[in-house]
Structure 1
Amino acid sequence: MNYTTQMDAARKGIITKEMEIVAQKESIEVELLRELIAKGQVAIPANKNHKSIEPEGVGQGLRTKINVNLGISKDCCDVDQELEKVTKAIEMNVESIMDLSCYGKTEEFRKKLIDKSTAMIGTVPIYDAVGFYDKDLKNLSVQELLKVIEKHAEDGVDFITIHSGINRETAAVFKRNKRKLNIVSRGGSLIYAWMELNGKENPFYEYFDEILDICAKHDVTISLGDACRPGCIADSSDASQIKELMVLGELTLRAWEKNVQVMIEGPGHMSIDEIEANVLLEKKLCHGAPFYVLGPIVTDVAPGYDHITNAIGGAVAAAAGVDFLCYVTPAEHLRLPNLDDMIEGIVATKIAAHAGDIGKKIKGAREWDNKMSDARRELDWEKMFELALEPEKPRRYRKESTPEEEKTCTMCGKMCAVRNMNKVIDGEDIMC
C-alpha cells in the first residue's frame, strides 16, 4: 500500500521502517506508536530525501529530544568550522540539528549537513530567502518565498519552521498590547516586517495550503514557529503569545487534514511558575501536537550563563510534558557559539531532558540513575565514568586530583561516607 507521509501511513494502518526503528529505540509497542502518529501526538520527522538519517520520534510517551542550532552568518561564515561542530554534535548523540544559516553559501552548507547527519535536520527558510535572492525583504515575492521552502524540502530537510501564526489578526493584537521587547523571534520579525512594508497578509498564513502540499510531497514535518514568543519574562503568557497559539492550533488541524506532521514551537523567556500552565495550554489548544520549546529561560539577568537558565526551565517544561528542547549555549544573546559553547549547551540541555524524562516517568529513564547509584555505592569509578552523561569532564576532574585512598576522592579521603558504610556493614574498621 502506498503512502505519502508517516502520518498517512499510520492512518492507513501501515507500519513503516521508521516506525519500527523508533519503537525499538523507545522500547514501546510499534502498534501504539502507529496510533500516536495517526493522532498527531507523535511525529517522526524524516524527509524521504534524507538518506543518512537515523529516525527519531518526538511526542507523547517518548524520550525528550534535544536540538542544536548551527549555521553560517555574515560575521561568521566559515563552513568548515560549522561542519566541525556538526561532527561533534552527532558524536554527542543529539537527535536534531537546525541549520539557521542566513548568509553566503547556505545551499552548500545545508547539503553537506544533510549528507553527513544521522540526526534530523531542521531549517527556517525565511532566513535563507533574504540572502538567496539578494533582495531587500520588502521585494521578496510570495512565489520566491515558496520556492525556497520547496528547495529545502527537495534537499532533504526533515522539518521546517514556518511562522504562519502571526497573521494580520495576531499582528493587531500585538499592536494593541505593548511589550517590553516587542518581537524577538528572528523569523517572526522578518515576517512581521514584510507584512508591514507591503500592507499584506502573512504569505505563510495566506498560502498555508501550498506549503502543506510541498511538505506532504517530501514528508517534511512542519514546525509551527512562535513569532510572538516572549523575549523576556515580563512578556510571557501575554495576549500576543496566546493569540498566536490559538492560530497555531487551527493550522495544526489543517495540516493534519493533509497528513502533514506538526510540531508546535513555544517560549522563550518565562517565569518558572508559568511553565506548567503554558504546557497544558499548548496541549489543549494544539490538540496534543508535540511541543518544541526554546528554554524556557527563567530569568533575564544571567548573560554568559543562559545554558543554565535554559536547563532549569527545560527540565520543568519536559517534566510537564514538553517533547523537544532547543539547546541554549553560554553565548546566547552575546555571539555565535563556538565549539566549546556548543558542547556546554548540549550537556546542559541533555541534563534537562533526562531530568524531565524522570519526572514524566519515561520508560527506562530512572534505571540509568539507579545504575549510577550502584556504581557509586561500589566506588567503581570507571563504571561511573561509563555511565556519565558526558564522561570527559568527570574523568579529567578525577585525574587532576589524586587521593591517598584510591577508592575515595580528595574531598573526604578516609572520611568518605560511602567507603565507611561499606566497611561497617562488612564488619571492618573504617580507619583501615
Structure 2
Amino acid sequence: MYTTQMDAAKRGIITEQMRIVAQEENIDIELLRQLVANGRVAIPANKQHTSLSPKGVGEKLRTKINVNLGVSKDCCDLELELEKVKKAIDLKAEAIMDLSCYGKTQEFRRKLIEISPIMIGTVPMYDAVGMLDKDLKDITVDEFFSVVERHAEDGVDFMTIHCGMNRQTAERVKKNKRLTNIVSRGGSLLFAWMELNNQENPFYEYYDRLLDICEKYDVTISLGDACRPGSINDSTDAAQIEELITLGELTKRAWARNVQIMIEGPGHMAINEIAANMQLEKRLCHGAPFYVLGPLVTDVAPGYDHITSAIGGAIAAANGADFLCYVTPAEHLRLPNLDDMKEGIIAARIAAHAADIAKGIPGARDWDNQMSAARADVNFPRMIELAIDPEKARKYREESMPECEDTCTMCGKMCPMKNMKKILNGDDLSIL
C-alpha cells in the first residue's frame, strides 16, 4: 500500500489520479508516473478531498491557474465567497486558495472542499491567530502544527508554508534594506513571531514534523517565498536567492519522505529578469514545479494589475513556470469582488494559454487554429463559442451590430476576411 502519489509512482504503481491526469493532458501514463516519481510533476490530492477531480502541475503539462479568495475582518461575507467559488469553477480555474483569516474559517473551508472538484490550497499561518484566538507572540510551536494538522484533516490538497525563511535569511533581510521589506503576509507573520520570541522558524526547525503530517494525508507542500519581491526594486536580491537555495534543500528532504513539493516565486519583477529567475528556480530546486504570483512587471498600475501580472505570467510560464496565481484589478487596493475575480481569472488563463503555445504543449495551438478558421469564414457565432470569455464576446457583438451581419462595425463592407473569401472564390465584390 502506498502513502502518497509520489510514493506510488516510485513503487511503479499507477494511481487513479495519475490515470485521470494522463488522459486529460494527453500524456503517456508511464512518462507521467516517472515525472511524479522524480518530483517534476505534483498531483495535489489530499486523501480526504473526495470530491476532487485531480490535476497535475509541472513539466510537460498545461500551465495551471489558481484563484485566491476568502474572508477578512473587513469583508466577511461567506455567501459571496461561495459564489466566487462557483464562478471560479465555471471559469475553469484549476485551483482555489482559501486565504480566510477571520471568523469561522473551518466552516467555510470544509464547505469549500465538499463542493469543489478542483484542488484547494490554504495558508495555515493566516488562520493561526483567528483559530487559536491568541496574540501572535503567544502562539506555541505545538499550536502552529495543530493548525496545519487541522487543515490537512479537513482535506486541503496543498498548503503554502514558509519553511525557507530561517533566522539566517531573516538577518539577510535586515542587513540588505529593501524598498518594500517583506510583503508576504504569512512570511511577515513568521518573521514577527521569530523576532518577538527570539526563536527559529518552527516550520524550518521542525520540518520533519511537517513532513509527517503531509505524508499522512498526502498534502503537497507549496514552499512559500517569504522573501518574494514586493517591488521591482527588490527583485533577485540576496534574501530572495538565499531563501530559494534553502527551499531547494527542503525539497530534497521532502522527496526523501515521498511528500510532493511546489516552489513559490515572485512577486514583482522587471521583464528582463523573469526568464533568468525561472531557470534559477528549476536549477536550485531540482526541477520542482514552480508556482508564481505574477510576476507583476511594473509597480505603477493599481486597478490594472491583472494586466501587469498577465504580462509577467506569460513570460514566466513560457520560460518554465508551471502554475500561475491570478491577480485581480483590486490587487493592492481591496478584497476583490466577483467582477474583479472574473477579470483576474481571464487574464491569468490568457497568460497560461499563451505560454502553453510557446512551450509547445500538445494541442495548445488547436484552439487558436479553430478560432482563425472561424474568422476566415466570418462565422461570428463560432468565434463567440470559441472565445476564452464567450459572455463578453457576445455582449460586445450585440452592443454594436453592423448593417451586414457577416461583418462587424469596425470594417463593415471593407471586411478583409469577407472580401478575400469572395475574391478567392471568384465572386463579384462591391464595397459601396
If the TM-score is normalised by the length of the shorter chain, which range does it land in?
Answer: over 0.9
Letter paired with 1:57:
G
Partner of 1:12: 11
Q: Which amino acid aligns with 2:128?
A: A
Partner of 1:89 in structure 2? 88
**Who is 1:399 aligned against?**
398
Letter in 2 for 1:12: R
State whether structure 2 residue 406 is matched by structure 1 residue 410: no
Query: Which residue identity does 1:19 align to in structure 2?
Result: M
Alpha-carbon distance between aligned partners in 1 of 2:417 and 2:356, rounded to the nearest angstrom: 28
**Partner of residue 171, structure 2:** 172
In the alignment, what sits opposite 2:348? 349
Deviation, 1:172, is 1.4
Determine whether 1:48 maps to 2:47: yes
2 CA distance for matches of 1:301 and 1:28? 41
Deviation above 2 Å: which 4+ runs of structure 1? none
Whole-Å Cα distance in 1 between the matches of residues 74 and 38 of structure 2? 43
* Partner Cα distance (1:99, 1:183) in 2: 21
Give the 3-state SS of the residue equivalent to 1:63 in structure 2.
coil
What is the aligned partner in structure 2 of residue 109 from structure 1?
Answer: 108
Q: Distance between the aligned counterparts of 2:418 and 2:14, measured in 1?
A: 51
**Unmatched segments (≥5 aa) in structure 2:** none
- Are 1:214 and 2:198 counterparts? no
1:330-361: CA deviation from partner (whole Å, max 9, x where unpaired): 00000000000000000000000000000111
**Taking every aligned residue pair, what percent have the same amino acid on both sides?**
70
Q: Does 1:185 align with 2:197?
A: no
In structure 1, distance between residues paired with 2:415 and 2:6: 55
Q: Secondary structure at the match of 1:265?
A: strand
Q: Alpha-carbon deviations, 1:18-58, whole Å to 9, x = none?
A: 00000000001110000000000000000000011110000
Q: Distance in 1 between matches of 2:398 and 2:385?
A: 15
Structure 1 residue aligned with 2:259:
260
Aligned-residue CA RMSD (Å): 0.6
Matched pairs, number: 431
Q: CA deviation at 1:385?
A: 1.1
1:171 aligned counterpart, secondary structure = helix
- C-alpha distance in 2, partners of 1:200/1:324? 33
Q: Partner letter of residue 173 of structure 1?
A: R
Please give the alpha-carbon distance, in whole angstroms, between the structure 1 residues aligned to 2:31 and 2:240. 33
Gaps spanning 5+ residues in structure 1: where? none
Please give the alpha-carbon distance, in whole angstroms, between the structure 1 residues aligned to 2:380 and 2:51.
36
Following superposition of structure 1 onto structure 2, how do residues 227-242 of structure 1 map, counting pairs within 5 Å?
227-242=226-241
SS of the residue corresponding to residue 277 of structure 1 reads: helix
Secondary structure class of the residue paired with 2:61: coil
SS in 2 for 1:161: strand
Distance 2:241 2:381 in 1: 49
Q: CA deviation at 1:13?
A: 0.2
Residue 377 of structure 1 deviates from its aligned partner by 0.3
Give the Cα separation in 2 of the matches to 1:279 and 1:245.
Answer: 11
Residue 106 of structure 2 aligns to a residue whose secondary structure is helix
Distance in 2, matches of 1:42 and 1:169, equals: 30
Work out whether 1:32 is the aligned partner of 2:19.
no
TM-score where L is the length of structure 1: 0.99
TM-score, structure 2 as length reference:
0.99
Between the aligned partners of 1:150 and 1:92, the Cα distance in structure 2 is: 31
Q: Which amino acid aligns with 2:219?
A: V
SS in 2 for 1:229: coil
Could you say which residue in structure 2 is the equivalent of 1:374?
Answer: 373
Superposed displacement of residue 227, structure 1 = 0.1
CA distance in 1, matches of 2:155, 2:167: 31
* SS class of match (1:431): coil
- Return the offset for 1:221: 0.2
Mapped partners of 2:406, 2:227: distance in 1: 53
